[in-house]
Structure 1
């Protein structure tokens, strides 16, 4: 599996990462998926303290602890579960970030986190205070690098201008091209890597296509538009599967270091890895995708 450097860090991440949110709480099943990922050459594992009330971090930590030096572990903070676990509240404060990391380290059974990410963010947050927390955690050796997970261009711009973050996790796919206008060029110009999620657009860009479609459509696309577009994309891309084209579309952008995809089975890991190792899209294939799909813009997410 090919690896790329994450921003200006020393981290080399596989171009396909495992999004651990979909692992579930069956420990044996989760372990088999993580082991399969390692077998396929995946070294980048992305979790969060929010997932399954912290159980996800525990499973990831327990499974990877004997191979810690061979993997890049990324986790996130900023969301706090309510006491009754009925939901969560947003807290990007310095105090919370510095406390949350200690709990994550304990659950992950490690002395340090390779990439610590803010799990969201708005322009009204105390951004300077959050950056201060990350910088102190770096100097204390509890984290190696930090980034944010956000689809808000104004928030991303603030962190790029004010901090030494190395990555931004952003939703990106052929059906969600919003990052191409405001986020990806900014990251590329500043030596920050994009880590993308949602490459198959909730399964629409997979062999299941319309089986995964909502009657309300997806982002700027109505159901009727998807009904016309998806078979046409599949036809025009020829021998490639839609999932392969979807992964390679993300990787074709020079700002993208890794595509983080979830997997709920070993078979899915193998398929995703095969797609990540496929030949890059040609200029002609990218032109076809651009011709058929929309250049979406961020509206409410600012």
Structure 2
């Protein structure tokens, strides 16, 4: 599978990664999906300490036993929780990050994390302290690189200007074009985008209309009303032609050189195989991309801009 460089780092990730949040807690099934992903050429796995309160990291760690060297392993930090206490709290402090990384390393059964990401961020965070923590972990060999997972403009700009992040994870799809205002800027600064949610909760898959009827039940999706989606999805499917719609959805995101990878989830081996098959389809031509753009709404993230 083709690989792309993350920023200026030595990390090269497969164009299609595996978002591990949807693996579930049934260990045998989740392990089968992870192992199949590696067999099919995926080398980039993305988890977080918050997913199932650490259980997801544990499952991924066990599944990778004996194959750790084949994988670019990413996880996230910034949410703290107490066993037995409901919910979690946002904590981007240096103290928490330096402590949480040890727990993640233990659960993942590894000595290092390839990409450690701040799992959110606000303008009120002690950003310099957060960056200091990541830099210390990098210097100590606990992590190879770091990034953030955020779509907030003021947070993105602050980290680009003050840190040595190599990537920013953003929700990005044909139905969520908010990141596009940042793509040129990030590319110019040698920072890669990792696109999560490229299938927009399954709306941009072959079963998109079924998903709309079954899961959304009259609800909207971001800037699109249910009626908008009922009209748009058949048009997108028709444009995709003989290719599955998820192929066009993936390659739409990957059309910009700033985007290093798309990371859909997979809750079954069948879903995973369909995604891998889709990524191997021919990428969009310039003309095809333009036609899609004409059908889609251009959105921006209106909050957190100052």
Q: TM-score, normalised by structure 2?
A: 0.96
Q: CA deviation at 1:301?
A: 5.0
Per-residue Cα deviation, 1:20-68 (whole angstroms, up to 9, x for no partner): 1111111111111011101110010100000111011011111112111
Alignment map for 1:37-186 (pairs within 5 Å): 37-181=37-181, 183-186=182-185
Q: CA RMSD in A?
A: 1.1
* Equivalent residues, number: 301
Query: Whole-Å Cα distance in 2 between the matches of residues 301 and 75 of structure 1?
Result: 25
Q: CA deviation at 1:83?
A: 4.2
Q: Which stretches in structure 1 are left out of the alignment for 5+ residues?
A: none
Q: Which stretches in structure 2 are left out of the alignment for 5+ residues?
A: none
Query: Whole-Å Cα distance in 1 between the matches of residues 86 and 7 of structure 2?
Result: 37
Query: Does structure 2 retain, via aligned residues, the 8 Å contact 1:65–1:110?
Result: no
Which residue is 1:8 aligned to? Answer: 8
Query: Whole-Å Cα distance in 1 between the matches of residues 264 and 118 of structure 2?
Result: 19
Query: Whole-Å Cα distance in 2 between the matches of residues 13 and 83 of structure 1?
Result: 34
Asked if residue 239 in structure 1 is aligned to residue 232 in structure 2, the reply is: no
Q: Find runs of 4+ consecutive structure 1 residues off by over 6 angstroms.
A: none
Query: Whole-Å Cα distance in 1 between the matches of residues 275 and 210 of structure 2?
Result: 19
Query: Whole-Å Cα distance in 1 between the matches of residues 268 and 166 of structure 2?
Result: 30
Q: Which segment is superposed worse, 125-134 or 239-248?
A: 239-248
Query: Does structure 1 retain, via aligned residues, the 8 Å contact 2:171–2:198?
Result: yes
Q: CA deviation at 1:85?
A: 4.0
Query: Does structure 2 retain, via aligned residues, the 8 Å contact 1:150–1:170?
Result: yes
Which residue is 1:190 aligned to? Answer: 189
Query: Whole-Å Cα distance in 2 between the matches of residues 186 and 79 of structure 1?
Result: 28
Query: Whole-Å Cα distance in 2 between the matches of residues 82 and 219 of structure 1?
Result: 33
Per-residue Cα deviation, 1:205-239 (whole angstroms, up to 9, x for no partner): 11222333332311111111111111111112222
Per-residue Cα deviation, 1:231-269 (whole angstroms, up to 9, x for no partner): 111112222221111011111111001111100111111
SS in 2 for 1:174: coil
SS in 2 for 1:289: helix
